[in-house]
Every structure is written in structure tokens, then in C-alpha cells.
Amino acid sequence: MSTDIKRAPGTTQEQDASRVVRLSVNLAPSVADALKSVAADQGISLTEATRRAVALLKLANDARNDDKRLMVVEGQGEKAIYREIVML
């Protein structure tokens, strides 16, 4: 998916970066509850939780596109357990 945002005439890239795009999304109740739970746990707004979720998704997507693997590591040293996060 590609999104092209055209810069307003006479604006700089820095000015464009300070603008926001308003989105409306439909979420299943369980997904909305999960997002609210994360926001509450971290003491952040739903908007910030959404930003962070998108950043994490982008990281995972970029890793997959670069033939890299994303892992969660439990424990340390020889007893560490590695679980791969698989993007479908």
C-alpha cells in the first residue's frame, strides 16, 4: 500500500511533518479493548498507543521485507527461549 501526501505549495518538509492526518477506523471490540488496555497500562492516549502499534507493525514489516526475523526472547544465556514473531 502506498500513500502519496502532496505538500501544500510554499510549505517545507518540516511544516508538513507537523501536520496530522485524521483517520477513522472500525475495530472489533476485542481489538479496541486491547488497544485501550495497552494505553492504560502505559499511561498514554489511544492516539499514542495507535502510533506505537503502527511503528511496531512497520518495524516487523520492514524486517520481513529484508529477509530478517523478529524475535521475543524470554530469559538470558543458555536458558533463553526464543520465539519468532511471524507476519502473515
For residues 71 and 83, the answer to whether their CB atoms sit within 8 Å is: yes
Q: Where are the alpha helices (DSSP H) in 1-88?
A: 13-17, 29-42, 46-65
pLDDT-wise least confident of 10-14, 37-41, 45-49, 75-79 = 10-14
- Residue 7's pLDDT is 56
pTM: 0.70
pLDDT at site 2: 42
Q: How do residues 2-38 score in pLDDT, each as one tens digit?
A: 444 455 566 666 666 677 888 899 999 999 999 999 9
From CA 35, how far away is CA 52, in angstroms rounded?
10
